[in-house]
Structure 1
Amino acid sequence: MTLTFHSGALSSSFPATRTLLVSAKIKDTEAVRRRLALRKVDRELSKRNYKAALTLVKQLQGKPGGLRGFGAAKQVPRRMSSLDQLKPSGVDTSSLQSLVDSILDSFKRSIEFQQSEEVSLSELESLTREGSHESFSEDHLMCMQHEAGHFLVGYLLGALPKRYFLSNTETLTRDGLVGGGIEFMGFEFLGEVDTVGILEKNLSRPKPRAGIDRGKISLTTLNRFSCTILGGLVAEHLVFGYSPGLHGDVEKLNSVLQWMGFEESEVDSHLKWAVINTVLILVRHQEARSRLAESMGLAKSVGSCIAVIEDTLNGNELQT
């Protein structure tokens, strides 16, 4: 009886152990295959062959050893503009409402500042020093999280980063400046938006009537851009609980909505949806954002950053 018992235990546990080992080996093999493929993407990006890089990424999309996360983020319905609408689906919104309100308030304050002709010194300090940073290193950490928020949201919504930059510690020590930026494929329309804005400002041209410019970009592109550009602001609030207040991102998103001819009520509705959608994406993928920020802080390549995202993603978090 004793021998039979041990024999049975061994025969039943061995297949399970073997299955785990095989599963781990498959994952390791897929990770290696993915990294090799992403090196090709990096080579195309370095040569500015952006279309070729995007083609490679799309070929890897959703395949074993490929990219599960690219363009696969779960999103809330476009008609949704309130967290209360998520309650029937079982989502706990109690902890998110104050976060969404804070982000919308940051957006509003930034727009008000940009539109005001005269701003007092105390108001400027309130906007730029809110939650005051104690050191450049803290500013650098916020910049890392900010750019990681852009990168992750854009990638998960199907926008491929072309390149990015972050101030390094040497620059901080020498110049005392903190900065960063990231460029995506698919947002080339921003050049036209900027040109129109400059002409209107310099030539005092009247702004187009509501709706006159609609159709210049698709609603899908607008939604992807809106959430991607909000990713930095949302990441700051998630990680630090506040945002410094002045955002070129906010001005750029507002300019695009004006360029599209959105009326004020439409801007409010679109913005609420975009903030909710972006918050839920980044809350769902906090570990990926954190690891991505570390990689970007080390100036890893775009392909290496994508690999970090893919290695961290939980398949259950992605849309099937």
Structure 2
Amino acid sequence: MAICRGNWLPAGCLSVRAFKFVCTAELGHLRVQVLEKVDEVLRSGDERGALTLVKDLQGKNGGLRCFGAARQVPQRIYTLEELKLNGIQTENFLSPVDVTLGGIERNIQILAVLGGISAWWAFDLTQLQLLFISVGFLFLWSWDLVAFNGGVKNLILDTIGHSFSKKYHNRVVQHEAGHFLIAYLLGILPKGYTLSSFEALVKEGSLNVQAGTTFVDYEFLEEVNSGKLSASSLNKFTCIALAGVATEYLLFGRAEGGLSDISQLDGLLKSLGFTQKKADSQVRWAVLNTVLVLRRHDAVRAALADAMSSNEPISACIEAIERAMGDSDV
């Protein structure tokens, strides 16, 4: 066996640095191939197969070293004062209000009233005709509310928001990137995402969905159905549920989206029989843990958001995470 030292190398002998570069490049190429296979397996609906492929490459140098490798804070009871010392104001965190879509809805209502008045004068409508038109719109609004839980209205508002508000579009993208990144770093494989209500309607046939990220969560569901949810699974679910809200809070100072995430988490904790004190403790730990992980990997989240904004497949999104992480501590 030839041993190479110093700067002088016999012909055909690689330096340690060059050898590592070659190995890393080869493993990086293998990673891309495996991830493309993950896309294919996910499209076929084989979630177990996709997760197996990812776990086979998990933690290897040049492979998927970030999957499930998040450095987390110890789980204990944290007070509100401790959260504030870490720059977290929970009143701006856990009470999201969608100001953007609310403003769009108000503007549409004002335009509708002004349009009705203009039509009344322009077409010389009678009071009876105006009444019939008003009743017609009221019927359509009520039908949407009853039949689709307001899905058509939300679809219209969300489409307008993405079309005319870059801030709204960016907020939604960053929100979903937060869910995706935290899940991946905690060892939960994302399997798909949508960034608008229209995209959710086309891809999944879901009318009343603003945006969302789905995961390979059959292990979690099996635990829930068995009535034996492990602390590890609950911790992961809690952090992932709060990740979108946490991302918005860190970037914009206040969350607008994510009310359904918080409601879903609240429902789970209640179904598990958590007292208010125990639920508060679980949420406070998850808030601190999630915020600190996101702060530590802000550049990674930004790279992932760029990939998601370009509608890249899951493989490319994961590759964006692994590349952006570099040699930093996960």
Which one of 304, 308, 317 corresponds to residue 305 of structure 1?
A: 317
Match of 1:58 in 2: 55
What is the Cα deviation at residue 189 of structure 1? 6.0
1:297–1:178 distance in 2 versus 1, CA, 3 Å: farther
Counterpart AA for 2:55: K
Match of 2:27 in 1: 30
Counterpart AA for 1:55: T
Which one of 41, 64, 68 corresponds to residue 44 of structure 1?
A: 41
Q: Relative contact order: is structure 1 or structure 2 higher (C-alpha 8 Å, sep ≥ 6)?
A: 1
What is the distance in 2 between the residues matched to 1:83 and 1:12? 56
- TM-score, normalization by structure 1: 0.69
1:189–1:56 distance in 2 versus 1, CA, 3 Å: closer
Alpha-carbon displacement from aligned partner over 1:72-120 (angstroms, at most 9, x marks no partner):
101111115259879xxxxxx85x32xx224x5431x35xx9xxxxxxx
Provide structure 2 residue ranges, at least 5 long, that are not aligned to the other structure.
Answer: 104-160, 201-207
- TM-score, normalization by structure 2: 0.67
Which one of 158, 171, 195 corresponds to residue 166 of structure 1?
A: 195
Which one of 90, 103, 106 corresponds to residue 93 of structure 2?
A: 106
Counterpart AA for 2:213: I
> Secondary structure at the residue paired with 1:251?
helix
Alpha-carbon displacement from aligned partner over 1:245-283 (angstroms, at most 9, x marks no partner):
661111111111111111111111111100000001111
Match of 2:69 in 1: 72
What is the distance in 1 between the residues matched to 2:273 and 2:25? 49
What is the distance in 1 between the residues matched to 2:49 and 2:60? 18
What is the Cα deviation at residue 303 of structure 1? 1.3
Q: Which moved more, 1:271-280 or 1:65-74?
A: 65-74
What is the distance in 2 between the residues matched to 1:126 and 1:298? 23
Q: Which moved more, 1:57-66 or 1:213-222?
A: 213-222
Contact 1:45/1:53 (CA < 8 Å) preserved in 2? yes
Alpha-carbon displacement from aligned partner over 1:100-154 (angstroms, at most 9, x marks no partner):
224x5431x35xx9xxxxxxxxxx969956xxx9942211100110000000000
What is the distance in 1 between the residues matched to 2:212 and 2:257? 17
> Secondary structure at the residue paired with 2:192?
strand
Match of 1:291 in 2: 303
Does 2:229 align with 1:217?
A: yes
Number of equivalenced pairs: 258
1:229-308 to structure 2, matched below 5 A, reads 229-244=241-256, 247-308=259-320
Does 2:214 align with 1:183?
A: yes
1:118-137 to structure 2, matched below 5 A, reads 128=102, 135-137=164-166
Counterpart AA for 1:272: R
Provide structure 1 residue ranges, at least 5 long, that are not aligned to the other structure.
Answer: 1-10, 87-92, 114-123, 172-176, 194-212
What is the distance in 1 between the residues matched to 2:60 and 2:316? 18
Contact 1:44/1:52 (CA < 8 Å) preserved in 2? yes
Higher-Rg structure is: 2
What is the distance in 2 between the residues matched to 1:150 and 1:48? 21
Contact 1:143/1:178 (CA < 8 Å) preserved in 2? no
Alpha-carbon displacement from aligned partner over 1:17-73 (angstroms, at most 9, x marks no partner):
955544444333322111011111111001010000001111111123321011110
What is the distance in 1 between the residues matched to 2:166 and 2:292? 28
Alpha-carbon displacement from aligned partner over 1:262-319 (angstroms, at most 9, x marks no partner):
111111111110000000111111111000001011111111111111111144422x
What is the distance in 1 between the residues matched to 2:38 and 2:238? 25
Counterpart AA for 1:182: T
What is the distance in 2 between the residues matched to 1:233 and 1:191? 27
| Residue identity (%) | 38
1:230–1:246 distance in 2 versus 1, CA, 3 Å: closer
> Secondary structure at the residue paired with 1:162?
strand
Contact 2:180/2:213 (CA < 8 Å) preserved in 1? yes
Contact 1:128/1:244 (CA < 8 Å) preserved in 2? no
What is the distance in 2 between the residues matched to 1:168 and 1:126? 15
1:85–1:35 distance in 2 versus 1, CA, 3 Å: same
What is the distance in 2 between the residues matched to 1:285 and 1:101? 20
> Secondary structure at the residue paired with 2:93?
helix
1:32–1:280 distance in 2 versus 1, CA, 3 Å: same
Contact 1:83/1:276 (CA < 8 Å) preserved in 2? no
What is the distance in 1 between the residues matched to 2:174 and 2:31? 25
